[in-house]
Structure 1
């Protein structure tokens, strides 16, 4: 348990159809995070949700949405995440992002 450390989790809420230039926004965010040397990023697709518009997006077969919720999670040191925020702000449009302090537990590495 000696590998505990504090980090910042950046969680970004967008729609599946959100774009940055010619590519999906979630893809552009992950690539920019990698380019910035951040520790890691994960994209999660939600089966249901709603945002500022109040419109419910769902994957139910009878009400199939083409804009399901997407959450992009990026984790790194507070300093690295803070340095990435201007890039994020320029990319997310009407998306929403949250920051939280997390404790990182690293597994055993061979």
Structure 2
């Protein structure tokens, strides 16, 4: 059996305070079903500035993706809140299916 969910990705960089605030919001306030934060090894955004990791580079400017999912009605509320906190283009979401129900 499968359930409809909405997947969400937030694109940011490691040095931003937004990561901890967002994770705290998703965990402590919204209690979403699942959240994972991924640290990228390379990436660039609208600015075109390449962010890469190397042994000599201890930069806190590496790309991070926060990904989470839950029921569409719950995510709708979460997305509306996050739209007020994030720059345009840093929030992506789409419908998906999962095996939440037994």
Query: Could you say which TM-score interval applies, normalised by the shorter chain?
Result: 0.7 to 0.9
After TM superposition, give the deviation of residue 100 of structure 1 in Å.
Answer: 1.1
Number of residue pairs matched? 101
After TM superposition, give the deviation of residue 68 of structure 1 in Å.
Answer: 0.3
Scaled by the length of structure 2, what TM-score is found? 0.85
5+ residue gaps, structure 2: none
2:82 maps to which residue? Answer: 88
Instruction: Tell me the distance in 1 between the aligned counterparts of 2:100 and 2:25.
Output: 24
**Does residue 26 of structure 1 match 2:28?**
no
Which of 13, 16, 34 is the aligned partner of 1:15? 13
After TM superposition, give the deviation of residue 84 of structure 1 in Å.
Answer: 0.8
Scaled by the length of structure 1, what TM-score is found? 0.80
* Structure with the bigger percentage of strand: 1
